Chain A
Amino acid sequence: MSSELLNEFTFFVLAIFVGIEVISKVPTILHTPLMSGTNAIHGIILVGAIVIAASANDPLHIVLGLVAVTLATINVVGGFVVTDRMLEMFRARRPTRAAPEVPGERLRQSGSAK
């Protein structure tokens, strides 16, 4: 086993423990956003897709690289945006009891009354 491979393997094993440890106390209400957030993080495959696409110089590699970059970009952009949208909803709450009935009004109030 080369030392580089050994290094990589070490990171791999440590990352397993960190991954489990870091989310072990997540409340149920955040399961969906968390799943979506981790989904965005594995969009890091875009780095890999760009690396293989960079050196493309024949039709086969061009097709493979193009598809890989496109798919990975959808993963990373869509992943972060959709997670942000979910979490945005958690912010717009705690309206005051006597708030008026117009929904937009409530939203603005709760935003400022934080």
Chain B
Amino acid sequence: MSLAISLAYLVAAVLFILGLRQLSSPRGARRGNQTAAVGMVIALGATIPLLHFTTAGLVIVLIGIAIGAPIGALTARRVHMTAMPQMVAIFNGVGGGAAALVAVTELLDQGMHPAFALAFPSVLSIVIGGVSFAGSVVAFSKLQGLLTGTPMTYPGQQVVNGLIALAIIALAVAVLTAGSVPAFFVALLILALVLGVAFVLPIGGADMPVVISLLNAFTGLAVAASGFVLNNFALIVAGTLVGASGTLLTKLMSDAMGRSLANVLFGAFGQVVAGPAGVAGAEGKSVRSGSPEDVGTMLAYARKVIIVPGYGLAVAQAQHAARELADELERRGVDVEYAIHPVAGRMPGHMNVLLAEANVPYEQLKEMDEINDEFKFTDVALVVGANDVVNPAARNTPGSPIYGMPILNADEAKNIVFMKRSMRPGFAGIDNELLYDPKTIMLFGDAKDSLTKLVAAVKAV
């Protein structure tokens, strides 16, 4: 590695670290992303001029970039804010796939007995990159609705997954000791893909953010492993940074859901949902359903209203309608705030992004710890398309799958209005006793539609 490249990689690494740091604070976040992008340009700019391209090599690099860049840019530009999580999943998956292919190519070129220092990271990169690619595709499909979001389980699934993992280890050992035969590491790649699919299938849609974050960390590690294969310092440092920060981020996310990572990944949740205990509790209890006019009057004469947005608001694209309602209420002197659960939406922070898109003032967005004590002084808690994050079962029912998850204390408000499309349970598949609370009024229908009607009703008061 020449001096110029080394220095350029050092600059790039520093920019990545600075970028990550800026990304961790709201003020500098956007600049942080740009800083990291500059680092990327520098790393690429330093590498390319010093490579010895074959004609074919130059052509495929240009074609690859000419195909990949518009695909990446256009899909990223066009995607709806609500579809953001699956977009991140797919961008992550292709990175893992690229890392695996880089390692496959290097192994091909090294003959039967590559040095251990090269073969070992190659095998890691193939396995981790392959799992990340296939797992991300499944995560994408679940969030996009191509596959059902409910966990897919069958008897003996853990055993089958375990056997796949064992086969991978056996093949890896074979590549490292018996010799690097193409058939072996191609089989390794295929098994890694199978494991990626098998690993994500039993995990429910609500847990996908955690899984995507984990796969993101995986890809980081696969890239770092490829860096060891190619003796490339930039890949090692950038990949490891992502691997480490991604792992921490994964832990923070599962903490926000009040669960351990192992619990998210290894199906305890899935089994409960699959069991009969799920939705059965609904019979024999009655709900109170109201008209937009009733609710509008109640809101107009309230002193304090807290809006609890959930994924239902996001899918209905109702964030603008919610802001209109809030504006209308504020004009009448009602104090309006939004209570944001850490996992509202499909990813931590997802709801903030959506509401910011609708120009909701930042000061009105309150995080859970900040606002939970205010519910008892609140006249109306308006729950828009959220369910599990206000389910008191998380506090009161030790047997419940969400028991222990921190929730918003919407049940302490004087009145609760639930805007839902139906009585269907939330993403976790569990019944919510708050729906049957005497203080609760149900407002059935599409969230955007209902909010628009509420705006009209409040104006009419």
Contacts and interface: CB of A to CB of B under 8 A. Distances in A.
Given A79-B72, A79-B91, A45 B253 contact: no
Contacts of B102: 45, 48-49, 51-52, 68
Contacts, number: 390
A74 B71 contact: yes
A71 B97 contact: yes
B231 A53 contact: no
B223 interface: yes
A52 B100 CA distance: 12
Interface residues of B, number: 119
Nearest to B46: A47
Contact of A73 (B68, B348, B350): B68
B198 interface: no
A4, A12, A33, A110: most-surrounded residue (chain B CB, <10 A): A33
Nearest to A91: B30
B242 interface: yes
A72 to B, nearest CB: 4
Interface residues of A, number: 90
A45 B230 contact: no
Contacts of B393: none
B72 A74 contact: yes
Given A52-B102, A54-B54, A71-B94, A11 B356 contact: no
Contact of B99 (A27, A48, A91): A48
Interface in A59-95: 60-62, 64-95
Contacts of A20: 244-245, 247-248
A50 B51 contact: yes
A68 B216 contact: no
Contacts of A91: 30
Given A8-B228, A54-B61, A15 B223 contact: no
B331 to A, nearest CB: 10
A48 B230 contact: yes
A35 B24 contact: no
B47 interface: yes
Interface stretch (B307-315, B357-365, B422-430): B357-365
Interface in B37-83: 37, 39-40, 43-44, 47-48, 51-54, 56-58, 60-61, 63-65, 67-69, 71-73, 75-77, 79, 81
23 contacts: A1-B117, A15-B224, A18-B244, A20-B245, A23-B21, A26-B23, A32-B353, A35-B216, A35-B246, A41-B39, A41-B238, A41-B241, A42-B239, A45-B235, A69-B65, A77-B71, A77-B72, A77-B76, A80-B33, A82-B87, A90-B30, A94-B363, A95-B359
